[in-house]
Amino acid sequence: MTKEVTKTIIKEVRKEAPKTSHHYLNRKIRPFRSNFNNPKPKKLEDKIVENLIELQKVNVNLAEKFDKLTNQISALLGLFENAARSFATSPSIQASDKDREFLEKVDKLLEQNKTIAKGLTLVEERIRERVYGQQSTSSMPMAMEEKPIREEKSIEEFKPSIGRPLPKF
């Protein structure tokens, strides 16, 4: 049976092939030898079929898990949407007592920070008066011009901070 099929295929190929003198076209085409009587290829085919069936089972299982995961993600997204709507529709959440205490402590710290900043500026002014003498702050640039160049570095360390505004909270 197989010999007949291969012979007909060879005849058809030769009919359709162009008539040239190429050596590879004149060769005799050998039929593919298959071992239909050999039981080993049958076992191999059975194994391939079994593996394909197992692979399909795994693919189905994977698809089911993806569907389940998609449903869970959709439910989670719905939960987030509901939470966002409730936050948007409800007025601001009432602050608890702990939150109020915390805010009061932060306010106290800010006031203390302002007081400390004012105190530091006063200390700086006193130190500047001791370094420069009893001069007013308006005549200080003239005093800096009169000092020698080598003392400019020490003067730059004590620049007045009057020009800088205090931090606002």
pLDDT along the chain (169 residues), means of 10: 59 57 55 59 90 94 93 93 85 69 91 92 88 61 46 49 59
CA atoms within 13 A on the CB side of 28: 3
What's the pLDDT score for residue 133? 75
DSSP code at position 29? P
User: Alpha-carbon distance 90 to 99, whole Å?
Assistant: 19
What's the pLDDT score for residue 143? 45
- Residue partners of 144: CB distance under 8 A and separation at least 6: 152, 155
The tokens of 89 are what? 């529709």
Predicted structure pTM score: 0.33
The tokens of 118 are what? 């004012």
What's the pLDDT score for residue 86? 86
Domain edges within the chain: 1-34, 38-89, 104-157
User: Alpha-carbon distance 166 to 169, whole Å?
Assistant: 10
What's the pLDDT score for residue 147? 45
The tokens of 30 are what? 């050998």
**Kind and range of the H or E run holding 18:** none
- What is the number of helices (H) and of strands (E) in the chain? 5, 0
